[in-house]
Structure 1
């Protein structure tokens, strides 16, 4: 793979079932996401957007096609290589937060760094810096049960940023939030976009478009429209050095 695309899909399909029961969840999708771009993939429930996100993040494997992150084809990686890739280079944000109930906010955020091999001291420092960045430094010692939905999602975003990922993939990040909490998360995504973090967000919430450089609409597993929003940039070229080594 050559060029400036950080994330690339070519002819990606994901089918379930057989014969008359065949479901084309993702149907021959082509996609390029430059480094630094915030991309919103929108569409109704069941259109295939979450499946596509899971394919791009190595959580599922395609039935056919190729998926690349930087200079590495991830659909051909071993399970161990994929786990290492997700741990070090991809940040995930989910609709249901997926925080550990028995861990405090700071412990949830530092967990990803600890699993990636960082020292406890460095992981804690990074976690506190990120909680401060998302406006929750004063809630560092609180359990998820003591946080609002918006606060839990901001903790989840801080966790996703823990290992300075190449890309953050967010699956319906405002789906379980009220309007006020949604605005908090949207403001945070706007800050990440301004800072140059590559973001791919799948959603049915049109407000996400307000913080995106580009919006793709999906229908029945395929792209129906691809729009670049006025006044936004498409990112910068990603480096291809040894930082990406050792995934296989």
Structure 2
């Protein structure tokens, strides 16, 4: 299987009996290397559940997921954790930073857990913080950063291990236009190097910068559009932001 991320007949239900809730109902998705897919839809339509299943954070009620050709079905929790650590970068809507660690320590943590040397992990973390405009905030704790700054630290952390794919849940949701531009430039540069990205967003301008836009409703895909924006990549969605936000 050539796709970096692949789902077949993906289903997810919660609860039992009359309390049964269907979050996903027979979703199929393939995402190629270097491709950016944006997913939009109303709250509760299954967008975040899709990301969690594609990244192995939850196990589906039915269907299958493959990451880099490896099926997640039947994979042990230990192997699943290793695959998430090495192959997937997550950006959560609520940041999930370690409160007791500084910005640079948060960013380098995944690389340290993967067994990389402290010098290499620190160098990569510092470079990523510089790319998202936070080099001068490297020694600050999350509590001393604004919401937008914490989100940029979270994006940098997701990229620490140079993952095959980034799964991002509203990665620019708490950012002003300038910070959004910084984050999208970084993601765009990484995509140019062959990284795969799936971005859940409510911002039509972010979605318009993807290669494909998928609209969801009630746990299913209702529309898919292949977008064309030349070689501008994610940056093509930034035109005119400064005066609008």
Category of TM-score, reference length = shorter chain = 0.7 to 0.9
Residue in structure 1 matched with residue 40 of structure 2 by the alignment: 42
1:87-132 deviation line (CA, Å, top 9, x unaligned): 1111000111111122111111111111111111111111112112
The CA distance in 2 between the partners of 1:170 and 1:83, in whole Å, is 18
Q: How does 1:49-68 map to 2 (within 5 A)?
A: 49-68=47-66
Q: 2:19 matched to which residue of 1?
A: 21
Report how far residue 134 of structure 1 moved: 1.7
Structure 2 residue aligned with 1:90: 88
Indicate which of 214, 218, 221 corresponds to 1:220. Answer: 218
Q: Distance in 1 between matches of 2:201 and 2:151?
A: 15
Identify the residue that residue 238 of structure 1 maps to in structure 2. Answer: none
How far residue 58 of structure 1 moved from its aligned partner, in angstroms, is: 0.4
TM-score computed with the length of structure 2 as normaliser? 0.88
Q: How far does residue 12 in structure 1 lie from its aligned partner after superposition?
A: 0.6
Q: Match for 1:116 among 114, 117, 129? A: 114
Between 1 and 2, higher relative CO (CA 8 Å, sep ≥ 6) is seen in 1
Instruction: Map 1:119-138 onto structure 2 (within 5 A).
Output: 119-138=117-136
Whether 1:7 aligns to 2:5 is yes
- Structure 1 distance, partners of 2:127, 2:140, is 16
* Count of aligned positions: 232
Q: Which residue of 2 aligns with 1:230?
A: 228
Instruction: Give unpaired runs (5+ residues) of structure 1.
Output: 236-248
Alignment of 1:182-193 (within 5 A): 182-193=180-191
Q: TM-score, normalised by structure 1?
A: 0.87
Could you tell me whether the CA contact under 8 Å between 2:39 and 2:207 is conserved in 1?
Answer: no
Root-mean-square deviation (CA, aligned residues, Å) is 1.9
The answer to whether the aligner puts 1:81 opposite 2:79 as a matched pair is yes
Instruction: Classify the secondary structure of the residue corresponding to 1:211.
Output: coil
Q: 2:202 aligns with which of 192, 204, 207?
A: 204
Tell me, yes or no, if the aligned pair for 1:186 and 1:211 is still in contact at 8 Å.
no
Residue 75 of structure 1 aligns to a residue in which SS?
A: coil
User: Equivalent residue of 1:106, what SS?
Assistant: helix
What's the CA shift for 1:146? 2.3
The CA deviation at 1:203 is 1.9
Cα 1:64/1:232, change in 2 over 3 Å: farther
* Change over 3 Å in CA distance of 1:120–1:9 after alignment to 2: same
Alignment of 1:158 onto 2:119 = no
